[in-house]
Amino acid sequence: MSCRTEKLSGAALLAFHGTEGLFLEELRDRLGIKRPPDAAYGDLLYFSDWPAGSLPYWCRTAMTEPFLLHFDSCKEAANSLKEIQRNWAPYTYRLFRRSNFIQESLPYINLKPKKFPFCIPKSPIGLYTLIDEHTIIASAKTTSFLPAGTINFEENHKDPPSRAYLKLQEALCAADCLLGTGFPKAKDRCLDAGASPGGWTWVLAELGCDVLAVDRAELAPGLMKDPLVKFIKHDAFTLKPEELGAFDWVFSDVICYPERLYKWVQGWVESGLAKNMICTIKMKIKTETQDKIDWNLIKEFENLPESRIVHLNYNKHELTWLHRSGKT
């Protein structure tokens, strides 16, 4: 059997691992897609009639022009992919050794953890998945510049006071890629709302920023002594923008109802005092009257000027709101 391709309709969506419940809930309640996928390959779900232009937040990347590649040898498979384009990344849920043989025969791409800060290359990258020993589902066109829609960072197990620092590192890379914000730099004025124990503050101080950290609980001792960090013991959401002044960056990883967060960020956007904002939207906080995600409210976040909503690899049951002011 020589290599043979078979075009497919629709799209194949790669969900973030461990988010299947949220992924399917979003398909049903936000996008109105209630039927099961035509096929499932691990976290990769194929829909033959996927509506063009729709993309769940819980999807890390999607194959937008999927096809099946039937082949005899791994070398043949790699050569067929190379004829289409240079860059390919695997999503592997089985046949790991065979998938590795194919990847080693393709042009090199760096799949190792990245050193922060990292600028995401804006070059096309395809995605492929072995579904049996002689068949690949693949697409040269995908919805992410990241290999398999995922980024991992080199971890610091010694200095940060919490693992939340990884979430901010990823969010900053996403904001730079999607909105062109660049990265916080020395002397930038930053507000970290709900900062304790200081994972996000630590990232900003490492970049040389002047950080105003606000929380009702103190930061880790090392950050409390850091000359770049000023701490205020307060509920950050009760402080008005006009009281605090202008900031290059405003951040929040506060555990709160999305409605409260929206009112807070709306105030900052309307004030014009924040050049860039990154906030975590906690999605699994239930109220006495509502046990489902309010997708209309999430749309309100996205409708704010120069805003994007993403789900990050280092998010859990959360979405992340990114914003860049049009003012310079």
What is the predicted pLDDT for the residue at 286?
A: 54
What is the predicted pLDDT for the residue at 326?
A: 67
DSSP 91: -
What is the predicted pLDDT for the residue at 2?
A: 77
66 vs 6: CA distance, rounded Å:
9
What is the predicted pLDDT for the residue at 8?
A: 98
What is the predicted pLDDT for the residue at 305?
A: 94
What is the predicted pLDDT for the residue at 316?
A: 87
Degrees, nearest 5: CA angle 173-179-185: 55
Q: Which tokens in the block code for residue 136?
A: 């690949």
What is the predicted pLDDT for the residue at 290?
A: 55
Angstrom CA distances, 300 to 3, 10, 74, 156, 321, stand at: 48, 28, 47, 36, 11
Point out the residues of the chain with pLDDT beneath 50.
288, 328
Angstrom CA distances, 130 to 35, 60, 100, 127, stand at: 24, 18, 10, 11
The position carrying tokens 């078979």 is 6
What is the predicted pLDDT for the residue at 169?
A: 99
The position carrying tokens 């979430």 is 167
What is the predicted pLDDT for the residue at 283?
A: 86
What is the predicted pLDDT for the residue at 52?
A: 86
